Structures are given as structure tokens and as C-alpha cells.
């Protein structure tokens, strides 16, 4: 799905208000302050947004401005995403968690919608942005929350690969078959994860051999029992002869609780089955039951929160209305 927002259609004296509404619609609740207030040049902004399965990819252009996500705005909305800004032209400043990332063309950085941040575009706004559901990234990069407002260079390594992949994706997006969206979305998250992992000095130290052994045991047990609605922190602790406090302590370094990880894995298995043309004979409810959901409405709410659309809509978009 493609959405276009532009101030070209707004009355000249209402462009800023229109732009704020566009930002809120395309991303999260935000405020915006134009920086060229005394300029004769009118304020303008344009967003070309493509939804590729669970990930939104946008090209954003606009006048010089300061964008903020404040605590009151966070309190008024429930968006739970990571946003990645890839600098296309000019420079920008991202401030979050007492850190500051200055981006030049080719650099990128990430910020978290659940905490306040500021975005400064003194030379005007020209970026490519990715909007990724939190659980989708946390599942691969548990310490993602600690990597906000940290610059990743797009000149070399995984950062360079990511920049090239996103640019190629945008160039070819009109020719993509929707049936490939799920795989492309997963690839985008994979390469983003690789780029963020290049911030090695800021990632947690490796687990001890014993701690890693227990992490592997816990995760293996959960994967084997995902289909059981009764699977929980308590049942896992009992089966592995660990205390609940030990499980929380062991997984602390992973940056995610066991309960959250269980639901993330269940949703991921449901997503895969919904995208599998060999399983079109199964209803959404049956797929949910296969992976431990005992309530279809619960599956629908959680799936939409993570992937941006309900399971039935996701299946239709991925497989096409004929197969779904």
C-alpha cells in the first residue's frame, strides 16, 4: 500500500498544521516547529510511504524544522515502534536518551517511539525512513532500546549494505509482487539488525558459558511447547527445574522478558503460516490455535499491534485474495 502526503494541497496559511497531521498519520504523534519563520519561502513537506508487510518505508522531504515527541504526546498515543532515519541530503540531529547523533548523507540512526526524542533539520528535511514494530526488531536484537540516537555509517560494512538494499528496494518497489512482501520485510529487518550490531562497543558483553547454556535451554523448551496454551514462565521454570527469579535473571541480558518472547515467537509462527500457500485450508483461528492462542480476538489484537494489520488482511495481502 502506498500513501502520499503533501502540503501542496493545503492552503498557504495552514501548511504547518497540515504537515503535523501528516507526520502523525504516517509515523506517531509529533509536534513540529518550522525553523525558517522569517523566510519568504513557504513551508512545505512531502511523504511518499510504502507499507511492505510489517515495515513502512518512506521518502520524506521538507523545509527546515524541529520535530519533537514529548511525554504528553506519548501519553496520548499507543504507538510502539522503532523509526530509522537514513540521511539522503543535508544534515540532521537526533536526540534521545541523553545521546545525540549528527547524520550526514549516507548515515542512519534509530529512535524509539515510547520515549521522548527531538529531530532537528537545520538544512531542510530529506531522508528515507523505516518504521518497524518493536517486537519485530526486539526478537532479533534484544538490546535495541540501548542503541537509540547512535550513528551508523553507511560508507562501509553492514550499514553500507543496508543503505544500498533500501535504495534498490525503493527503485524497484512498483514492480514488486505483493506475495514477496513478507520475505522482503524480513530481509529489511535482518539487514537493519546487522547494521545496528556494528555498534559493537555499545552492545552488552557476551554471556558466560553457563548463562548462555541456560538461555539456549529456555528458548529450546519454549519453541518445542509453543503450541500449548498453558505455556508460561511458571511452567517453563518448573520443567527446567529453575526458579522464576533465575529465569528473569538469566534473560535480563537479552533485554526481553520470557513472557514477551513467548508471545513474539507465537506471533512469528502465525505470521509464517498465514503467508504459506500450502496452509490456505486452515482458518486464521485454526492457525492461532496451532501456536497456543486460545482466543481469536487476542490473536487479532496482538497481530495488528506488531505487524500493522490484522491476520486476515495480512494473509490477503501476502497471498492475494484468490488464495486467501
Contact between 119 and 129 under an 8 Å Cβ cutoff? The reply is: no
Q: How far apart are CA 269 and CA 272, in angstroms?
A: 5
**pLDDT band at residue 154 under the 50/70/90 scheme:** confident
- CA pair distance 72, 29, nearest whole angstrom: 10
Find, among 78, 76, 46, 77, the residue nearest to 63 by Cα.
46
156 has pLDDT over 90: no
**Domains defined along the chain, listed by start:** 2-202 (2.60.120.10), 209-319 (1.10.10.60)
Mean of the per-residue pLDDT values of the chain: 87
Higher-pLDDT residue of 279, 35? 279
Residues with Cβ within 8 Å of 15's Cβ and at least 6 positions away in sequence, in order, are 7, 42, 43, 44, 45
**Cα 140 from Cα 190, distance rounded (Å):** 8
Closest CA relative to residue 182, chosen from 268, 297, 261, 265:
268
Please tell me the predicted confidence (pLDDT) of residue 162.
86
At 159 the pLDDT is 81
- pLDDT(202) > 60: no
pLDDT band at 203 (very low <50, low <70, confident <90, very high): very low
- What digits encode the pLDDT tens for the residues 62-77? 999 999 998 888 888 7
Average pLDDT over residues 304-323: 83
Task: Give the span between the Cα atoms of 137 and 236, in whole angstroms.
Answer: 24
pLDDT at 79: 79
Residue 61 clears pLDDT 90, i.e. is over it: yes
Instruction: Please give the angle made by the CA atoms of 67, 72 and 75, to the nearest 5 degrees.
Output: 115
Report whether pLDDT(59) > 80. Answer: yes
pLDDT above 70 coverage of the chain, percent:
93
pLDDT category of residue 206 using cuts at 50, 70 and 90: very low
Residue 311 has pLDDT above 90, yes or no: yes
Look at residue 324 in the predicted model and tell me its pLDDT. 55
Q: What's the first-to-final CA gap in the chain, in angstroms?
A: 18
The pLDDT assigned to 198 comes to 80
> What percent of the chain lies above the pLDDT cut of 90?
45
Averaged pLDDT, 191-218: 72
- How many whole angstroms separate alpha carbon 2 and alpha carbon 13? 27
pLDDT at 204: 46
pLDDT digits (tens, 9 = 90+) for 72-122: 888 887 778 999 999 999 999 999 988 889 999 999 999 999 999 999 998
Question: What pLDDT is recorded for position 292?
Answer: 94
pLDDT of residue 253: 62
Buried-exposed string 73-101: b where 16+ CB fall within 10 A, e elsewhere: bbeeeebebbbbbbbbebebbbbbbebeb
Burial of 11 (0-12, 13-18, 19+ CB in 10 A): exposed
Amino acid at each position: 500500500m502506498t500513501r502520499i502526503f503533501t502540503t501542496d494541497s493545503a492552503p498557504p496559511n495552514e501548511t504547518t498544521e497540515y504537515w503535523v497531521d501528516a507526520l502523525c498519520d504516517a509515523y506517531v504523534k509529533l509536534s513540529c516547529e518550522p525553523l525558517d519563520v522569517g523566510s519568504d519561502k513557504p513551508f512545505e513537506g512531502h511523504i511518499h510511504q510504502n507499507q511492505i508487510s510489517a515495515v513502512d518505508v518512506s521518502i520524506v522531504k521538507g523545509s527546515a524544522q524541529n520535530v519533537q515527541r514529548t511525554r504528553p504526546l506519548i501519553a496520548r498515543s499507543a504507538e510502539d515502534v522503532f523509526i530509522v532515519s537514513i540521511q539522503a541530503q543535508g544534515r540532521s540531529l537526533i536526540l534521545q536518551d541523553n545521546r545525540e547523533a549528527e547524520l550526514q548523507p549516507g548515515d542512519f540512526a534509530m529512535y524509539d517511539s515510547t520515549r521522548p526524542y527531538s529531530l532537528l533539520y537545520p538544512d531542510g528535511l530529506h531522508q528515507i525512513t523505516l518504521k518497524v514494530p518493536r517486537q519485530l526488531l526486539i526478537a532479533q536484537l534484544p538490546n535495541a532500546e540501548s542503541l537509540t540516537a547512535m550513528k551508523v555509517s553507511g560508507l562501509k560494512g553492514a550499514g553500507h549494505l543496508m543503505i544500498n538494499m533500501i535504495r534498490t528496494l525503493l527503485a524497484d518497489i512498483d514492480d514488486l509482487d505483493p506475495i514477496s512482501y513478507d520475505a522482503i520485510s524480513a530481509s529489511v529487518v535482518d539487514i537493519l539488525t546487522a547494521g545496528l550490531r556494528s555498534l559493537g562497543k555499545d552492545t552488552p558483553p557476551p554471556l558466560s558459558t553457563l548463562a548462555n547454556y541456560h538461555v539456549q535451554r529456555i528458548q529450546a523448551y519454549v519453541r518445542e511447547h509453543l503450541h500449548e496454551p498453558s505455556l508460561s514462565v511458571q511452567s517453563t521454570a518448573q520443567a527446567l527445574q529453575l526458579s522464576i527469579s533465575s529465569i528473569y535473571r538469566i534473560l535480563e541480558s537479552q533485554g526481553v522478558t520470557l513472557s514477551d518472547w513467548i508471545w513474539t515467537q507465537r506471533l512469528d509462527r502465525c505470521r509464517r503460516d498465514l503467508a504459506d500457500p500450502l496452509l490456505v485450508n486452515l482458518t486464521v483461528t485454526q492457525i492461532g490455535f496451532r501456536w497456543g492462542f486460545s482466543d481469536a480476538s487476542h490473536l487479532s489484537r496482538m497481530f495488528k499491534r506488531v505487524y500493522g494489520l490484522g491476520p486476515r488482511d495480512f494473509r490477503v495481502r501476502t497471498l492475494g485474495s484468490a488464495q486467501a
